[in-house]
Structure 1
């Protein structure tokens, strides 16, 4: 089997929060995912950038051992996103989106990527997600992300995707939009009936919920003194989650729960700085240490 494969976006972000502002920094769903996952396993990345994409960003991704054979470089400008956060930091207010070369992106899977061990379908058109699934041999685990735009405009195609994936990773607002109900437990039951084995619901500062057909698992968000920029936290979570599972090749219930915590660990580092700055400086010993802190945070002795 091959590496962990991610299909998504690579972008240049301009972000303003109450704690600072950055312009034209490295971003994109595939970027955050692949960088987080690279701390656990080998990653192949499929995306598109324009001729203006800085070489320094390519060097960084390669330095993390991420294979960029599938990163297409076209004439034109790279996908750009501009957003702003209030003090609550729960939701970005999009100020400008310029898809540029990403608007006509049609993922082409190189031959050496066609047998991935695991596959993550980033937040792209469900029709494109289906096309990627047709181009690869069935991995042992497939996960995907989506957003309200696709839920509202491509619902039928999205349901066809969900029939073929093992894990759906979305936030609570997206879950309610998909299920058409405010109760997340009910939404989970109805969503799982349509195909996925697991539903992971990201709830920002309130942590993560993991549902399967039998059980529910909840992990808190790690309490931090410093949060600068939540951009990419969800994609970083997915990268930590999938990266750990790809590293262990263990899909037991216990391993899935550990993966949720590793995803939360990686997301907790990302929000401490703008862009991928915290992930650039990260050491695996820090990841292990924070995992243990998570364990202490949630441990409760059994009743005597």
Structure 2
């Protein structure tokens, strides 16, 4: 059983207080699939250009990620460039070249359509819905979105998330989507839109899991040094969904809330590892033993 991940595979140029990288592997689909690959089999649906390097393809393949759904189109791969503030809580986008991603139409191999788990990354809501409707045996489906889709494609977005089992967004997106400044009220409004499991990510302050009549709050992991927060939220998504897939979870059946709580913690763990080096570099050496060790740290510093 595999997790199908739909989204962007890209190149990023990033500058933080710790240094500058002109070109490195990135994209939401990349981070989610790499993170999830420590728990379950990942299959990606994305598009890259003719400039996509073999060494980057090899990194994904070495993690056991199925690349059958990775389309190579004529042109260049999506490129994003940004610079982070001194405390790395804010970033400024310097350049966005959509390139082949501008005309991305997700193409699912037949073998993907019967998989039980689906994460729909940050693409146009109509495309997310199009993918969802091709999947025939889902046990859970969810994804994320962003301010642009919330503001300019609201009706399309609402029609899409109505079918989802879960939604992962950050606190500012939750307020924008709901029209509520109070996160508890915001969560209630969003769950009424369809997703009965809502994760609100709060960066270095952790994450909150809302379900009907329940709330779970997890802190962020305190690192000695944050080198690059790019992709941390996507790695959270990969850890969260990857763990649920590993456990054979069915969000349409009887639910053990403690498993969902553990998924949130594994999401936080994966996000923290992402920040330790630039881009995807940490995944070149990261082991499941390290991941489980940090999970146990979370258990110790939150027990009372």
| TM-score, length basis structure 2 | 0.97
By how many angstroms is 1:92 displaced?
2.2
Residues 45-124 of structure 1: pairs in structure 2 closer than 5 A: 45-124=44-123
Match of 1:150 in 2: 149
Match of 1:297 in 2: 301
Cα deviation 1:239-274 (Å, max 9, x = unaligned) = 000000000113421101000000000000000110
Separation of aligned partners in 2, 1:279 and 1:170: 23
Q: Which residue, out of 249, 267, 272, partners 1:263?
A: 267
Match of 1:272 in 2: 276
Residues 90-239 of structure 1: pairs in structure 2 closer than 5 A: 90-239=89-238
Match of 1:156, SS? helix
Separation of aligned partners in 2, 1:138 and 1:13: 35
Cα deviation 1:98-137 (Å, max 9, x = unaligned) = 0000000000111000011210000000010011111111
Q: Which runs of 5+ in 1 are unaligned?
A: none
Match of 1:157, SS? helix
Moved over 2 A (4+): none
By how many angstroms is 1:85 displaced?
0.5
Greater alpha carbon shift after TM alignment, 3-12 vs 135-144? 135-144
Match of 1:13 in 2: 12
Do residues 287 (structure 1) and 291 (structure 2) align?
yes
By how many angstroms is 1:162 displaced?
1.3
Separation of aligned partners in 1, 2:151 and 2:90: 19
RMSD: 0.8
Residues 20-59 of structure 1: pairs in structure 2 closer than 5 A: 20-59=19-58
By how many angstroms is 1:181 displaced?
1.6
By how many angstroms is 1:138 displaced?
4.2
Match of 1:87, SS? coil
Q: Which runs of 5+ in 2 are unaligned?
A: 250-254
Cα deviation 1:193-242 (Å, max 9, x = unaligned) = 11101110000011001001110100000011010100000000000000
| TM-score, length basis structure 1 | 0.97
Cα deviation 1:30-56 (Å, max 9, x = unaligned) = 000000000011010000000001110
